[in-house]
Structure 1
Amino acid sequence: METKGSFVVPPAPLRLEGVGITLREWTDDDLDALVEVYDDPEIARWTPVVSPFDARAARAYLDKARTSRAEGRTAQLAITTDGGRPRGEVLLFRSASDERDAELAYGVGAEHRGQGLAGRAVRLVAELTLRELRPRRLVLCIEHGNTASEAVAHACGFTLADEAPVPRQAKGREVLLRTWSLRPEDADRG
Structure 2
Amino acid sequence: MTLFDDPEIAYRLPVASLFDAAAARDFIERAQQARVAGRRLQLAITADGREPQGEVMLNLESGSVGYMVGRAYRRRGVAARALGLITRHAHGLGFDAVTVEAELDNLASIDVARRAGFQLTERAPAMVEDKGRRYALHAWVHRMDRP
- TM-score under structure 2 normalisation? 0.94
1:107 pairs with one of 65, 68, 82: 68
Deviations 1:16-44 (A, max 9, x none): xxxxxxxxxxxxxxxxxxx1111012101
Kindly indicate whether the alpha-carbon contact (under 8 Å) linking 1:50 and 1:171 is maintained by their aligned counterparts in 2: no
Amino acid at match of 1:129: A
Alpha-carbon distance between aligned partners in 2 of 1:142 and 1:90, rounded to the nearest angstrom: 14
Amino acid at match of 1:123: G
Corresponding residue for residue 59 of structure 2: 93
Alpha-carbon distance between aligned partners in 2 of 1:58 and 1:172, rounded to the nearest angstrom: 22
Corresponding residue for residue 139 of structure 1: 99
Correspondence 1:5-154 to 2 at 5 A: 35-94=1-60, 101-130=62-91, 132-154=92-114
Structure 1: which 5+ runs fail to align?
1-34
Q: CA deviation at 1:55?
A: 1.1
- TM-score under structure 1 normalisation? 0.73
Kindly indicate whether the alpha-carbon contact (under 8 Å) linking 1:134 and 1:184 is maintained by their aligned counterparts in 2: no
Alpha-carbon distance between aligned partners in 2 of 1:122 and 1:161, rounded to the nearest angstrom: 18
Kindly indicate whether the alpha-carbon contact (under 8 Å) linking 1:87 and 1:108 is maintained by their aligned counterparts in 2: yes
Q: CA deviation at 1:174?
A: 2.7
Structure 2: which 5+ runs fail to align?
none
Report how many residues are paired: 147
Q: CA deviation at 1:179?
A: 0.1
Deviations 1:62-119 (A, max 9, x none): 011111111010111000002111110001004xxxx5x4011010111111111110
Alpha-carbon distance between aligned partners in 2 of 1:169 and 1:68, rounded to the nearest angstrom: 22
